[in-house]
Amino acid sequence: MITIVSLFILLFLMVGGGYYTLRFFSRLAGVNMLTAFSWGFQAKRFELVLTFILFYLMAFVMVLVMVLRPITILEVKTSHVGGLLGYQESNNQAMVYDSSRQAYVAYEMYPPPPTPAQFTDVFRVVSFYRPFFRSHYQNVEDMGLAVTLILIFIGALGLVLTYLVLYGLAEAYASKNRLSNTLSHQFLATQFRKIIGIRFTQALVIVLTALAIISVVSSLTVRGIMQQYREQYLPDQQSLKNRLETIISPGDTVQGRLIRRFHRLDKVYNNYNDRDVDEVEYYKISDFIIEFTELTRVPVYLNLPLLDEGEPSQAIKILDAVFLDEKAAVPYEIKAFDFIVKDDYSISLAQEK
């Protein structure tokens, strides 16, 4: 129900924002942009009206994210959790080890973090937060400075492109209908000052200052939370990883239990000598989640990704045999297999050797 309401509100804001964007530009340009937009469809000037829709949507989403960023920062500060990454329990659930409970805890996420494929990558410290009125968690790293700067750049690009398209649409409409055309960038800047009360450059400085403050606060919040969990879980992480380094070496045979299976498509670019462009092909990959209970005091989980190139490999056939059908994610019986530790500390099925 909350999701439906959220989508309705988002749609309302998106349509309303588009309407008032056209109204505001009408005041700037002295051209009725609602009429010009309708004319653009009738005159089949799709290079203007459709690109406006595209660039406006791009700008709207990025700007909305940044406008709501202070609320998101509050969500992060009030609902964050952390632990040592375990494995993907389902398509919308991650299992994370909580040392205070001495157990793996399930967190609803979509998509969940991928299960590590190498022993050297297990027990990574992760932190999540839960948005208000939502049941699922999101990765705190998505609030980092790099992501914020990308959002700002895409939003700014969308706004600039939206402005240029609207300028072109107003110019084309005025010219086609023989309206008095005083349109210029300088004219729009003058009109902006009359309507808003400050120069465009001043408004730009205010917006950039606000974005800088939001970016810095967001970055400091994320860094603080991530550092908090790194320090909290560092002793357990080092203890478990040191134990693995002591007992695991390339070439070793280790026994693990198959507990989950997921399917995904992977895109591969093939370059053929007789073709000018690369050909894109999709292959199915089966991710088999393996549990090792005898290596450390905490169960260790690895992903064994196997590529299906049309004819399933022997390893896929062996592991698929414990599932009732192609869609099943949980085996009908928990069966142990022997695995070989490879040079990069990933694993392969011993039976296929």
User: Where in the chain are the domains?
Assistant: 2-73+144-219, 250-352
Distance of alpha carbon 69 from its chain centroid, rounded? 16
CA angle 173, 177, 180 (to 5 degrees): 90
Q: Taking Cα atoms as reference points, which of 60, 54, 46 lies closest to residue 17?
A: 60
105-132 per-position pLDDT tens digit: 999 988 889 999 999 999 999 999 998 8
7 vs 276, residue with greater confidence: 7
- Band (pLDDT 50/70/90 cuts) for residue 183 is confident
Full-model pTM: 0.78
Token pair for 273: 């000598």
- Hey, which residues does 264 pair with through a beta bridge? 285
> DSSP states of 202-247 as a string?
HHHHHHHHHHHHHHHHHHHHHHHHHHHHHHHHHHHHHHHHHHHHHH
Distance, CA of 62 to CA of 159 (rounded, Å): 10
Averaged over 186-194, what is the pLDDT?
A: 90
Q: How confident is the model at residue 277 (pLDDT cuts 50, 70, 90)?
A: low
Q: Which residues on neighbouring strands pair with residue 155, listed in sequence order? A: none
Query: Band of the pLDDT at 278, cuts 50, 70, 90?
Result: low
Question: Could you read off the pLDDT of 302-341 as tens digits, one per residue?
Answer: 999 998 777 778 888 899 999 998 889 999 989 999 999 9
Helix, strand, coil content of the chain in percent (nearest 5): 50, 25, 25
Distance of CA 319 to the CA centre of its chain: 31
* Rounded Cα distance, 346 and 21, in Å: 53
**How far apart are the C-alpha atoms of 250 and 100, rounded to whole Å?**
32
Q: Which CATH number fits domain 250-352: 2.40.50, 2.30.30, 1.10.287, 2.40.10?
A: 2.40.50
Q: What confidence score (pLDDT) does residue 339 get?
A: 95
- 25 in Cβ contact with 52 (< 8 Å): no
* Residues 57 and 155 sit within 8 Å (Cβ to Cβ): no
Task: Show contacts of 113-116: CB within 8 Å, 24+ apart.
Answer: 113/85, 113/88, 113/139, 114/88, 114/287, 114/303, 115/86, 115/87, 115/88, 115/287, 115/289, 115/301, 115/302, 115/303, 116/85, 116/301, 116/302, 116/303
